[in-house]
Amino acid sequence: MRITKFGHACVRIEHDNATLVVDPGGLTDAEAVDGATGVLITHEHFDHYSADHLRRVDAPIFTVAGVAAAIAASAPDLSERVTVVAPGETFTVSGVTATAIGEQHAVIHPELPMIDNSGFLFDLAGTAVFHPGDSLVVPTQKVDLLLAPASAPWLKASEAVEFVRAVAAARNVPIHDAIYTAPGHGVLDNLMNNLAVPRGLEWTRVAVGEDVPGL
């Protein structure tokens, strides 16, 4: 198993013969999708979804209804590759079992419309890896590795800490972090080290382009 962090919210999961890419959006270098056997999109915001990135590969696309509708409207050439998954649905991508978790994006502001968002929980030979997209929905299933949102217009640092503690994964890697500066990363890391790590919840920051260690 190999998990590589790319720009912002994008991760690449290589397991057996599968190469899965989650949320290769506009803040991610396009080559993140090269060689993908499956692409998963949690929601339609530009930092998670880029039609141009998806055109670089012929891989099937798994996503929620809102993204499928956006693709049909603005990038219909991609629609034939799209499979819509429903909240709670378990499905298979390139031999990897995944479950869609949650239904809606976190609230950015009460006056903005809500959009679809489902995170994805992957079963990688018994290791459960969760990418929540832009949501703080806590899975009922056990999670071994959480790809934890670390900065967003919809997220306070205290909420990030509480989400990590609620999911209670033994290992946590921050993602969704392109809008913080290095000092901002340090502030959140310090909070996690004081409020999550003492509970046995490891917090490991991984640079863009690097692999999550120890897998």
| pLDDT 10s digits, 113-148 | 999 999 999 999 999 999 999 999 999 999 999 999
Is residue 215 a part of any domain in this protein? no
The band of 22, judged by pLDDT with boundaries at 50, 70 and 90, is: very high
Tell the residue number behind the tokens 């499979």, with chain if given: 83
Contact 5, 206 (CB under 8 A): yes
Return the bridge partners of 83, or none: 62
| Residue 171's CATH number | 3.60.15.10
Calculate the alpha carbon distances from 16 to 37, 58, 94, 204, 209 in Å: 12, 19, 9, 24, 20
Residue recorded with tokens 């995944």? 98
Residue 210 included in any domain? no
Amino acid residing at 56:
R
Per-residue pLDDT, averaged over 69-94, amounts to 97
Is 144 among the domain residues? yes
Indicate the pLDDT class of residue 31, thresholds 50, 70 and 90. very high
User: CA nearest 23: which of 111, 118, 124, 110?
Assistant: 118
Predicted pLDDT of residue 134? 98
Instruction: Give the chain's domain count.
Output: 1
Query: Looking at residue 215, what is its pLDDT?
Result: 87
State mean pLDDT over 71-95: 97
% pLDDT > 90, the chain: 99
Domain membership flag for residue 211: no
For residues 209 and 188, give the distance between their C-alpha atoms in angstroms, rounded to a whole number.
21
Task: Write down the pLDDT at residue 46.
Answer: 97
Section 72-99 average pLDDT: 97
Rounded to 10°, the helix 157-167/182-195 angle is 40
In contact, 42 and 131? CB cutoff 8 Å: yes
Q: What is the mean predicted confidence (pLDDT) over 178-187?
A: 94
Containing domain of residue 121, as a range?
Answer: 2-203
